[in-house]
Amino acid sequence: METTRQGAAVNARGIGVKGPRGWAFRGVDIAAEPGSLIAVEGPSGSGRTCLLLALTGRMRITEGHATVAGLPLPKRMGSIRGRTAIAHVPGIADLEPALTVAEHLQEQALLGHRGTPLWGRRRKEATRARVDAALAAAGLDPDTLPKGLRTCVRDLERLEALRLSVALAVMHQPHLLAVDDLDLKLSADERAAAWQMLRDVALTGTTVAAVASDAPADALIVSTAAPATTPHTRQPETHEEEAAHAFAETGRA
């Protein structure tokens, strides 16, 4: 069985993505059960962000075979996008510095209600329940923020901003959650807290994949480093260039 209530099995064999500048990544294999915690490792510019976007149906794979929740890539990219969510991806899933935590949460809650016949008090109650559940899942306690839910994103600590980004993503109850740059510029204690947050999400059944440089022992490690026998013609990029390349590629899907 490929899915649980909120989890997706991820299976890939020899997948790769090639763009105008060459291979972003190639030769990646994955075999993950629903509710798995996946750590994507590899040097900067090796296509880690592109792999997340490919697995979530936001970038077309060029070679290999893959299924997410039993749906084949790239044939069912649209269906896979509807069952997945991304968080903390520069240029694609950014937080708006000038908006408050509440404004971000309310916007996502309204998007989640699209097509749902709820009005007045029932709609407000449903929105509140959705927001509370997302905050709890991400471990973001408004009482610890400088101005509670009225705190602007620019005033959040890095780990708090990461928690908010994850909260916005899980609000849509994805089968697969993909998180970029999980441990970038975090202290050792903050990295441990960030992994525990994702571990808690995975324990609910949701499959989680995160780009990181220091994965915990209980994570399934997937590497985008090019095998020694495989030509990797793309030139190394900074992370910002990799994210921009990934964003450009999503328009081709």
Amino acid at 176: L
Residue 2 forms part of a structural domain = no
pLDDT at 167 over 70: yes
Peptide linkage before 43 cis (omega within 30 of 0): no
CA pair distance 59, 252, nearest whole angstrom: 7
CA pair distance 227, 28, nearest whole angstrom: 9
pLDDT digits (tens, 9 = 90+) for 177-211: 999 999 999 999 999 999 999 999 999 999 999 99
For residue 231, the tally of other CB atoms under 10 A from its CB is 10
Mean pLDDT of the chain, nearest integer: 87
pLDDT digits (tens, 9 = 90+) for 118-139: 456 777 887 888 899 999 999 9
Q: Give the domain CATH number at 226.
A: 3.40.50.300
Looking at per-residue pLDDT, the higher value among 248 and 39 belongs to 39
Residue 1 forms part of a structural domain = no
pLDDT digits (tens, 9 = 90+) for 168-178: 999 989 999 99
Number of domains in the chain: 1
> Cα-atom radius of gyration of the chain, to the nearest Å?
18
Query: Residue 202 sits in which domain range?
Result: 10-250
CA pair distance 95, 146, nearest whole angstrom: 18
* pTM, to two decimals: 0.86
Residue 130 forms part of a structural domain = yes
Residue 4 forms part of a structural domain = no
Residue 175 forms part of a structural domain = yes
Residue 218 forms part of a structural domain = yes
pLDDT at 3 over 50: no
85, two tokens: 């969510």
